[in-house]
Amino acid sequence: MWLFHAMCNSNRRLDGKTVIVTGSNAGIGKVTVEDFYKRGARVIMACRSKSKAEEARDDIKKTCQNSTQTGEIVIVELDLTSIQSINECAKKLVAEEEQINILVNNAGIMFAPEGRTEDGFEMQFGSNYLGHFLFTLRLLPKIIKSAPARILNVSSVAHNFLWGNLAIDDLNWEKRKYNEKQSYYQSKLCNILFARELARRLKDAKIDGVTTYSLHPGVINTELLKHFDSAYFRGMHWLFTRIGGLFFKSPLQGAQTTIYCAVDENAGKESGQYYAECALKCSSAKANRMGDAKALWDITWKMVGLPSDYDPFDASEI
């Protein structure tokens, strides 16, 4: 267990607030749901597997059975590898929820073998970044109307390991030989650039009260490590979970920066920044290339099929 880690010390309550956490049936996502639930929030678990989400929800409620002033946990089905699923889930949430105060884009896969989503996107690019881009923009009018609100992208320090800058001309891995590690690093860089560009566009649209964040949770011993054997060598997964696990964070420790960005009062004064260990950090130079951030936004918009006349910053009809 990692000995050197920061903890979110904020006691802020979330009574009357609605929070969405993607990929929240396990790992740091599950811990994040539990924390928000204890703070009194209405927490929506947006997960691909309803049965796994229900099992996680029941486990959280059992763990918190002696806690007072807990909130509510709701489950919605969301498959971030399916544009249809994303659009349907977002439409349901916008129609049925009175407000959305915090969105945590937490779901992700790591070092997955080459594969494609049902819409033809490279799997890690699709599930870690592309799906969250579409989900966020479909929810954004409701989030704006619910301000003050926060949007969090769980990224990784691993974005530093990407060879060169973002390959704007081949985001979908159609021209290059697939590399599962580089694909993962690219998706995490996209998460940071998305948070930066969204913050810039919110400012340009003169929208106050909606802040964005990207963050590195730390190296955590979770099921994300399951593809390590194929990415490195046979036995690597065992090595990391048995020996390396002594130096990894627990899911509870790994969730702290997410919780900090979601609830801390000082973090609420900032937008578009990158965090680790519950503090503002400097990201890599490639994560500060605003030209890449804009180009990524424009290309992604077309990839996910958003209409040219759709304005995610217009909350007037919500």
CB 169 within 8 A of CB 113: no
What is this structure's pTM? 0.93
pLDDT tens-digit readout, 81-119: 999 999 999 999 999 999 999 999 999 999 999 999 999
pLDDT at 318: 84
- The pLDDT value given to residue 241: 59
Give the Cα separation of 177 and 167 in Å (integer). 13
Tokens 């936004």 -> residue: 297
Strand partners, 42: 18, 72
Please identify, in words, the CATH class of the domain defined by 18-218+255-303. alpha beta
Tell me if 217 sits within 8 A of 258, measured CB to CB: yes
Classified as helix, coil or strand, 220 is strand
- 71 within 8 A of 15, measured Cβ to Cβ: yes
List Cβ neighbours of 316 (8 Å cut-off, separation of 6 or more). Answer: none
Of 184, 185, 260, 274, which one is the catalytic site residue? Answer: 184
Top-confidence residue, 85 or 244: 85
Residue 75 dihedral angles phi and psi, to the nearest 5°: -115, 135
Strand order across the 279-281 sheet: 72-77, 42-47, 18-22, 102-105, 149-154, 210-216, 273-276, 279-281
- Tell me the sheet residues that pair with 75: 45
pLDDT on residue 243: 61
Q: To the nearest whole number, what is the mean pLDDT of the chain?
A: 93
Whether residue 184 lies in the annotated active site: yes
Q: What is the pLDDT of residues 140-182, one digit of tens each?
A: 999 999 999 999 999 999 999 999 999 999 999 999 999 999 9
Burial of 291 (0-12, 13-18, 19+ CB in 10 A): exposed
**Domain coordinates of the chain in residue numbers?**
18-218+255-303
Q: How big is the CA angle at 317 (ends 315 and 318), to the nearest 5 degrees?
A: 65
